[in-house]
Amino acid sequence: MLKILSQISQHLKEYLTFSVLLLVSLTLLSIGDSPKLHLITQISVEIIGIIKSTTNVFSEFYNLKEENKKLRKTNVVLLTELSQLREEKLENIRLRRLLGFKERTNNYELVPADVVGKTLVSPYNYMILNVGLSDGIEVNMPVISESGVVGKIMKVGRNYSVAMILFHKDFRASVKIQRTRVDGILGWDGGEFLSVFNISKTMDVEVGDVVITSEYSTIFPPGFEIGIVTQIDNSVPGLFKLIKVKPLVDFTKIEEVFVVKYKSDLEREKIEQGIFEK
């Protein structure tokens, strides 16, 4: 519509200009040389200027509209390129982390898996992974990421498996404070953070300490990072501290994990079970 108006205004401008000039010419021929001639000439110039200014509005508005469209298109292209650059940067960071992670886990066979489903709002939170029996996955195999421990396998199908994550009320793992080698049991009591139990109030633990898996664990290899101590409360009743731990893994964003082909020591498990049964 604007394009049509612009074309009409252009033709109208030419027609009106021609008409005014013709009228002026005829008037000048009729009155000859007189003082009125200069006045008519000035008026004619003003009229032509007004006609040009008025008819140019439609043309300029149309040109601005087209220019605005081009600028919006350019903006979309630039935003898309910026988004792609950000994704490439994040991918580069992730690959660097994976490279360092691979160097730390060379002693273990890792099976990469995608997270195809998960729940984070239940007392029994879990993840569904796209690996299973056909990939050599078994119950109780550890699940980790380049950030830290994720959980362990609790159910296995042919091509899929279910992993119990750290935020599961039945999850337990033997852990230790990396700095002081103090041992404890990691679990979750339904709060925002994980908890480490069975650490005496006399033991050396500080906020900022790293919590890692212990060699006492029958599920996890020793030395895998789990989280950072964020709170310590010595005022609770009893002999033990209340220690809160923030996991290194961000479970809201995790998309890829690794299942560690690490089998627990069945003989050791039987001996330990026998001790507790007595």
Which of residues 8 and 138 earns the better pLDDT score?
A: 138
Give pLDDT, residue 218.
Answer: 85
Which of residues 61 and 161 earns the better pLDDT score?
A: 161
Q: From start to end of the chain, where are the E strands?
A: 110-119, 124-129, 142-144, 149-156, 161-168, 173-177, 183-187, 194-197, 210-213, 225-233, 242-247, 256-260
Tokens 């049991």 label which residue?
185
pLDDT one-digit tens code per residue, 245-277: 999 999 999 999 999 998 766 555 555 555 445
> Mean per-residue pLDDT for 181-192?
94
Give pLDDT, residue 268.
Answer: 59
Reported as a pLDDT band with limits 50, 70 and 90, residue 170 is very high
Give pLDDT, residue 151.
Answer: 97
pLDDT at 67 over 80: no
Angle CA 254–166–222, to nearest 5? 100
Question: What's the whole-model pTM score?
Answer: 0.63
Give pLDDT, residue 64.
Answer: 72
Q: Is 135 helix (H, G, I), strand (E, B) or coil?
A: helix
Report residue 261 as tokens.
Answer: 């082909």
Tokens 């890692």 label which residue?
212
Do residues 206 and 194 touch, judged by C-beta distance below 8 A?
no
pLDDT at 33 over 60: no
Give pLDDT, residue 213.
Answer: 94
Q: Is 18 helix (H, G, I), strand (E, B) or coil?
A: helix
pLDDT at 82 over 90: no
Do residues 182 and 203 touch, judged by C-beta distance below 8 A?
yes
Tokens 């852990």 label which residue?
175
pLDDT at 94 over 90: no
Give pLDDT, residue 71.
Answer: 75
> Mean per-residue pLDDT for 222-235?
94
Give pLDDT, residue 70.
Answer: 77
Q: Which residues contact 205 (CB under 8 A, 6 or more apart)?
A: 177, 180, 182, 199, 229, 232, 241, 243
**215 phi and psi angles, rounded to 5 deg:** -70, -10
- Cα–Cα dist 132/159, whole Å: 4
Of 43-52, 66-75, 256-265, give the range with the top mean pLDDT. Answer: 256-265
pLDDT at 3 over 60: no
pLDDT at 137 over 50: yes
